[in-house]
Amino acid sequence: MKWEDVALSSSIIIVLTLLTPYLDKIGFSFWLKTVCGTAVLFSIIYIVLPKIKFLQKSVTKKVGWLSMISILIFVLILGDLIN
């Protein structure tokens, strides 16, 4: 497992948790929210993450899963505080 995998799953969690309520407040339709979320995710996956050198390093599965779970909990709590 690489740090890139951890960052990928974290970015998916962040985009789905925090971007959707923001787009609801603006008044975007379901299809436009889907297109925006997909565009943001693909830009993160194919443009941003491969360029960061630190994320290319290996990490043990235990540390990777613990990092993903802690980021999930933090983002869900932050999403509840924002809404």
Tokens of 41: 């995710």
The pLDDT of residue 70: 93
**Closest alpha carbon to 32 in 20, 41, 16, 14:** 20
Domain ranges of the chain: 3-82
How confident is the model over 53-73, as a mean pLDDT? 90
The runs of H, that is alpha helices, within the chain are: 3-14, 20-26, 30-43, 61-82
Instruction: Encode pLDDT of 3-59 as tens digits.
Output: 888 888 888 888 888 887 888 888 878 888 888 888 888 888 888 888 888 888 999
Query: Is 15 within 8 Å of 71 (Cβ atoms)?
Result: no
Which neighbouring-strand residues pair with 2?
58
The mean per-residue pLDDT over the stretch 56-67 comes to 91
* Straight-line distance from the first to the last Cα atom of the chain, in angstroms, rounded to the nearest whole number: 33
Task: Please count the other Cβ atoms lying within 10 Å of the Cβ belonging to residue 46.
Answer: 10
| Predicted TM-score of the model (pTM) | 0.78
